[in-house]
Homo-oligomer: A and B are copies of this chain.
Amino acid sequence: MRSKSKRVPEGVVERLPLYLDTLLALADTRQATVSSARLGELTGVNPAQIRRDLTHFGSFGQRGVGYDVGALTTHIQRILGADHANRIALVGAGNLGTAIANYSALDTHGFVLSGVFDNDPAKVGRDLGRLHVQHVDQLDEFIRSLEIAIGIIAVPTVAAQDVADRLCRAGVRCILNYTPVSVVVPEGVVLHNTDPVHELLHTLYYLSTRGEGDLAEG
């Protein structure tokens, strides 16, 4: 997937989804090509950095012309692994889980919510979008049989580590954790924690010290 194998900096990988969304928006407006300068305007990223970032994976542009919007879109999707369906198992069918299940932006990037699980008998069997909520005891078999690689944790804090363990044991390789506790996962499993409170505390700092205005983040 990577033409030049070097180990790509974290920052580069964080910017790729931003480029991707911008390219998709450009395609909507029927732009055939885009320069790094224009892409820089739209994303707020320095044009030189955009070109440098892409260099990590190959050369996708044409000197004097720019980048083909469609082609670059495809390339970035391939780099990220978003060029094919990625099935997701969601654990937790409460308010947060329901919000995630109804999140239409998932589809546009090839993510397919394939199963929703809960341990609450009152929730098991209920409909959530086009899915039925299954009991969490069926999680292991479900993940194995469908070879699901991505799990999302949207359960109460106390259950987070148990769910993480189950997901990892079943063979999931990537976990998004929406509880405020940082769960422990075995080596090789990619973990991403999202904690609203950390985000609030972080922005709070800039509020009190009048740091230089905007900080826009993904």
Residues in chain A within 8 A of chain B (CB atoms): 1-2, 7-8, 10, 13-14, 16-18, 20-21, 79-82, 86, 88, 94-96, 98-100, 102-106, 108-109, 111, 149-150, 157, 173-174, 176, 180, 182, 185, 187-209, 211-218
Q: How far is the CB of A158 from chain B (nearest CB, A)?
A: 11
Chain B residues near A2 (CB-CB < 8 A): 209
B residues within 8 A CB of A111?
A: 197, 200
Cβ-defined contact, B206 with A13, below 8 A = yes
Known A99-B95, A174-B203, A196-B194; contact A208-B105, beta-carbon cutoff 8 A:
no
> Given the complex of chains A and B, what is the CA–CA distance between A215 and B96 in angstroms?
24
CA distance A217 to B217 in the complex (A): 14
- Contact status of A105 and B192, CB under 8 A, knowing A2-B209, A204-B82, A208-B1: no
Evaluate contact between A80 and B204: CB separation under 8 angstroms: yes
Q: Are A20 and B201 in contact (CB under 8 A)?
A: yes
Chain B hits for A216, CB < 8 A:
182, 191, 193
Q: How many copies of this kind of chain does the complex include?
A: 2
Checking B88, B205, B218 against A198 with a beta-carbon cut-off of 8 angstroms, the contacting residue is B218
Contact B105 A95 (CB under 8 A): no
Partner of A200 from B150, B199, B206 at Cβ < 8 Å:
B150
Residues of B within 8 Å of A96, CB to CB, are 95-96, 99
Are B215 and A190 interface neighbours, CB within 8 A? yes
The CA of A7 and the CA of B213, in the complex, are separated in Å by 13
Chain B residues lying within 8 Å of A79, measured Cβ to Cβ, are: 205
Give the residues in chain B near A80, CB-CB below 8 Å: 201, 204-205, 208
Q: Bound complex: CA of A16 vs CA of B21, how far in Å?
A: 30
Q: How far is the CA of A208 from the CA of B188 in the complex (A)?
A: 12
**Is there contact, CB below 8 Å, between A202 and B14?**
yes
Q: Which residue of B lies closest to A86 (CB)?
A: B204
List of 3 A-B pairs having minimum Cβ-Cβ separation, nearest first: A81-B208, A96-B99, A95-B99
> Which B residues touch A208, using CB under 8 A?
1, 80-81
A160–chain B nearest beta-carbon distance, Å: 12
